[in-house]
Structures are given as C-alpha cells and as structure tokens.
Amino acid sequence: MKKFKSYIYLICILLSITSCLKHSSVNNDDIFRYNEHSNISSLDPAYSSTLRNIWPVNQLFNGLVQLDDSLNIKPDLAKSWEISKDGKIFLFKIKKNIFFHKSIAFGKDSTRIVNAFDFEYSFKRLQDPKLASPGAWVLNNVDKFNAVNDSIFLIKLKSPFSAFLGILSMKYCSVIPKEAIEYYNNKFGKNPIGTGPFKFKKWEENVKLVLRKNNLYFEKDSKGNKLPYLEAISITFLPDKKSEFMEFAQNKIDFINSLDSSFKDQLLNINGNLKEEYLNSINLLSGPYLNTEYIGFFLGDKESVLQNKKLRLGINYGIDRKKMMKYLRNNIGYPANNGFIPLGLQKNLVKGFEYDLEKALQLINEYKDETKKKSIEIVLSSDANYLDIVEFIQRELLKIGVNIKINILPPSSLRQAKSNGKLEMFRASWIADYPDAQNYLSLFYSKNLAPNGPNYTHFKNDYYDQLFLKIIEEQSKSKRNKLYQKMDSLIIQEAPVIPLYYDKIMRFSQKNVIGLETNPINQLNLKRVYKK
C-alpha cells in the first residue's frame, strides 16, 4: 500500500510539472525566488563555510578579487594588483567610489566610500580568535597586511603560495565596515552591511529572507547598463526537498539546485538529459563541479595486502566507471577516467583508469602468484548514502577474484575512523576549498598525514613531495599546469586511491529565467540574471 501511495504521489508531481510549468502566467515582478532547504545560519562572510551561507553572502559582499564562471581570477574591489618576484608581496590598488550599503550604522540612511583601511580591519577581524571564524585558516600563510594609504592594501606572505589569489576570492575575505560591527556587534550576521549588488531587507527566521537591489552598485554590463537587473531576491526555507520541488513545479520558485533522488528517473533520461516532454517547460544547466568522489586505500599499515601496487592497480582497472555512472546516477557526474583532479580544474587531461577486465585479471593473478595467496578479502567502509555504489564495486571486483566485504557506518563515525587510520578501504570525496589543483594534490603530500591533514591514505612518495613543494612556489601558470599533470599521473601510477567520478552541477530553472549560469564551484551569481 505504501508503494502504491508513493507511486500516486510521483504521478501527481509529474502532472503538476506539465500543467503548472507550461500554463502558468509569466512572472514580471523582477524577483528571483529560490528555496534553501538547509536554512541559513549567518549572513556574516566570516561564517560563509557552506553553500547555504555562501550564496546569499555572495549577493551582499565583495572582496579584492572574484572568479568568473571559468574560474579565472578577475578584479573585484581591487582595480589591479602587483606581485613581487619572490611571490611574497601583493599590492592591491582599491577602486574609487565604491559605496557600502546605506545603513543606520553610518547615520540615518547614510553610507560612505570603501578604502584600503576597511580591508585591513576586515582581515584583522577574520583572524580574531574571539570571532572563531571557520575561515581564519585562509590567512595562515600571511606574515602581515596593512593599508599603505586609502587606496593601497599590502599583503606579505610567510612563504610563496601560487594559489593565494584564488583563496582571496573566497567570501571569507569580503570587506565589511567597522561601523556596522560596532553598531550591531554579534547581531551583524542578521543585519549585514556590504557593497554587493543586493542589500539586506528583511529576514523572518525559518520563513523568508529578502534582499533588495543596491542602487549604488558599481558594476555595469558590456552595454553600460547598471547591475544588477533584478529588483529583489526572495529565499524561502522549506526543509523538505520534495516540498521544494512542488514549489518549483507550481512556479512559486524560479530555481532548484540538484534533484531529490525521488524525481531523478522521472525528469532525466539515462544519459542525464531532460526527457523530451519537459524541454519546453524547464531549463537544465549542468557542468563540472569541483568534487572528486573516490575510494581510498589506507597505506599506513605495512602488513596490509594493500601495500602491493599490483593489487591496487588491478582493482582500479576492474571497475567499469562508465556503466556505474549510467545506471546508478543517470550520468549525473563524469566517470573518473582522467586522474584525481576533477574536470573543472584539469588543463591537461591525464590518462587514468579505463575499464580493462583482461588487464585487471592479469594484475590480480600476478599478485596471487607472487604472494602465494589463493584468495583476497578486503573490507570497504562507507555510509548508507553510497550503498548502491559500493555494492556495484563489490560485484565488479568479484569478476577478478577480489572479495569485498561492505562495512556501513554512520557518516560521523566514517569520518572519524577515516581520519584515525582505522579503515582498510573507505569511500570519500573532496570538494575544493579553493579553486586550484594544488588543493587536490595536497591529499597525497606526506606532511599532510591525517588526522592533522587531508592525507587519509597515508601515501608517501619522495618525488611527489618534491614536486608538491615546487608547485607551491611556482608563479607561472603554464609551468604549474605541467607540474599538476605530472603529479596527477604519478597518483595514477601508484594508485593510492580509486577515483570513481567527478561530480556534476545540475541546475533547473523556469523558462523565463535568463542569464543564470553554472560554474565549477557551484557559486550562485545573480547580478546578471533577469526574468522575461
């Protein structure tokens, strides 16, 4: 009976899509509406550690630099910058006539111009232990920073770090006015004052957040029109993704990010594209997301069978990633056949593990001959959300004589055991902290061993470490890309992990939404969006 009711519910949803999306009246109110089912904890950029906070903060605040949708670093409030030859000193020239949002913090409905001292204040606040910002780490390699004058901001690093500009694009590094912090104190997160294309209007807890157009915003489009185009952004807080989808189907919200698994097969075909009956009703935007899903081998146990490279290579060649993505995920993602670095950051594709049953069998048989082992049994740990993936891997590896025993743990227990080296094999993922391949390669640097760093596999390779230290200091983008390729190839050769797939962003919007794009960090940029 339960199954029957669920089926009827899905049918009602689909009928609702067909009728409501095709025949609803066009909304010309210039309000962009979306739902945040995870809720929002703060609009203070110092606490913008999750997408639920980052998205609205991105509409309200600016930093020195920003990323375009191709992850190129562009000026934001910095007009230009200079970097010393040793890669340690950064001089930023601040744009003129940038205004903070009008606020009572400056006096009655008043504002003022941003200057370099505001960045000095914002960075000092970010470092303050009393604030306990999860983003304080972005300044760990900073020796000092100060405003030289109103228009010049200086940052000096302790050591060269080629990815530093990318880190500065994170919302943690946004500029905020001292007056607003002094006026609102610990309530600033509920009363944000920034310089962004939208300004704070009202926030009803668990009901709705409203942002309004900032008429003082400095950016213009290529034709000289002032940004943003929209008059407002309205964010609701329905906690259930099925309810969120119903709101979208009834044209009550304009956009949803990804789908509840209940609707995946109903809306998308096996290739991950919209089914034909919805092409005239819905926009689907998709593209690479900086997230690599993988299985890790723990190499910290010298007695483990996983110390044998032939066994690890055989397992990698024995998994048909393309079949896995097609039948388990409707191709929402890309098979990880090109190294560990995800597609959104790969400049030169690395030859990875294509499915090769014959090669896998050969490697496993060689392993058995050399070690005199007649059987292979390995425990693979995961959480329940990925049970279908690990069961698929279990079936695939049986074909080559590797017996996988599945161990399902709660997510928190999995994370803790993984960090403490308690798991033989484990499912994991890595979402970029900052948009640079170095972030992914840091997972295999020997000085980053877990639990004090992200090297959960305890992989150690002296040559790899030498290359890693080179990329940190190398300022030339083309030279860094060659080093990235060399290091990613080394990870394939040594096989401390099984790269499974590179994630994909899936954005669904109403047909009248124009200018919404996707990008590999899944940032929501609304300053160039409008509705027709």
Give Cα separations from 198 to 74, 150, 214 (angstroms). Answer: 20, 25, 5
Q: How far apart are CA 516 and CA 462, in angstroms?
A: 45
The pTM of this model reads 0.88
**CA dihedral of 127, 132, 133, 135, whole degrees rounded to 10:** 70
Q: Identify the CA nearest to 221 among candidates 15, 531, 530, 428.
A: 530
Contacts of 287 (CB under 8 A, 6+ apart): 344, 504, 505, 518, 519, 520
Strand partners, 378: 404
Mean pLDDT per block of 10 residues along the chain (532 residues) reads: 46 49 51 93 96 97 95 96 95 98 93 98 97 96 98 97 95 98 96 98 95 97 96 95 89 89 80 89 93 97 96 98 93 94 88 97 97 95 95 98 97 96 97 92 96 96 97 90 96 98 95 95 96 92
Residue 116: both structure tokens together: 């370099």
Question: Residues of 413-440 as b/e, b for ≥16 C-beta within 10 angstroms?
Answer: ebeeebeebebbbbbbebebbbbbbbbb
Q: Extract the runs of DSSP E, i.e. beta strands, from 409-456.
A: 425-431
Q: Which residue, chain included where needed, has tokens 């300004």?
A: 199
How many CB atoms sit inside 10 A of residue 152's CB?
A: 14
Is the CA virtual torsion 287, 289, 295, 301 positive or negative? positive
- Exposed, middle or buried: residue 491 (CB in 10 Å: 0-12, 13-18, 19+)? buried
Is the CA virtual torsion 198, 200, 205, 208 positive or negative? negative
Q: Which residue, chain included where needed, has tokens 């912090």?
A: 181
- Residue 442 DSSP one-character state: G
Q: How far apart are CA 39 and CA 66, in angstroms?
A: 25
Domains defined for the chain, CATH in brackets: 32-237+511-531 (3.40.190.10), 289-505 (3.10.105.10)
Single-letter amino acid code for the residue at 42: S
How many CB atoms sit inside 10 A of residue 313's CB?
A: 21
| pLDDT at residue 2, as a whole number | 43
| pLDDT at residue 10, as a whole number | 52
| pLDDT at residue 25, as a whole number | 38
Q: Identify the CA nearest to 66 among candidates 169, 146, 155.
A: 169
